[in-house]
Amino acid sequence: MVRKKRTSLGDIKRIHIDRRQREGGYVMSSHHCHPYYELCCIEHGACRFMLEDRMYDLHVGDLLLIPPQVVHYTRYLFGSCRRIGIYFRDADLNEAVTALLPGRAAFFSRVQVFHVPEAFHAACCELLSRMAYEEQIDDSRTPLILRLQLMELLAFCSRVCSFLQESPTEIQTTDRQVLAAAHYINEHFRQQISSADIAAAAGFSPNYLSRKFREAAGIGLHEYLVLVRLRSAALELVSTDMSVTEIATHCGFSDGNYFKDAFKRKYGVSPRDYRNAAKG
């Protein structure tokens, strides 16, 4: 069986399912984002997600919805974890099912955390297993079957889940200060900010914050700032008519060549090619 690969831009033509087991201490290569939704479902163990300026500790029965172009990173601090990632587009959704969810269509515009009660864990896991099995079949019927299964999962969640506005568990005080730094970066990334500016907002010295930020989020302060800027630039490339140079400046890059090199390292193509591919 030949598996269809997603392109460097993250394009997908149908729903995809990715089930994987990670051991405690596993380190992701980098933060990332993509132009489609990700629904992460925890089947066993626990893990920590960092999304922009928030952190979420997810456990068995928790589901996390990540909208398109949201920078995220996963850490495995609590031992082994088995999770399923469901990747889908707006075209894969059905109005009758989205109408069942809190906020209806607006539900998909922001990060969402919801929890399956223990009494329904088995039913949820059975549904997820069927989706993972269908991914392995990967024939001409798979796109339709996965779409129907996603609608079944969302309808099931609308019936039994509790929908949470904040992290399901408390975050440690030091992590909250790390989140303060992330929040400051997301609010001020268009400006020429320094590590000292970010540290002052978080209440730490620059060196201490840099270490704490990397420990908690798996990335350095500067790398995170660049990722936030790149994510914004990617959105502006497909949603505005500004030139590449104007977008680079607007997103906080003072050096146009550095922006182009960083963008290509992140997305695999130049900003101009990214825009052309996105617009067809």
Which residue carries 């607006």 as its tokens? 106
Percent of the chain residues topping a pLDDT of 90? 57
d(C-alpha 234, C-alpha 232), whole Å? 5
Chain segment 134-145, per-residue pLDDT in tens = 999 999 999 999
Chain segment 12-41, per-residue pLDDT in tens = 999 999 999 999 888 777 777 888 999 999
State whether residue 245 is helix, strand or coil. helix
d(C-alpha 231, C-alpha 52), whole Å? 10
Position 276 confidence tier, pLDDT thresholds 50, 70, 90: confident
Q: What is the DSSP string of 71-106?
A: -EEEE--SS-EEEEEEEE-GGG--HHHHTTSTTGGG
Chain segment 104-114, per-residue pLDDT in tens = 889 999 999 99
Q: What distances in angstroms separate CA 218 from CA 75, 77, 198, 202, 215, one per listed residue?
A: 7, 11, 17, 17, 6
Structure tokens at 114: 């919801």
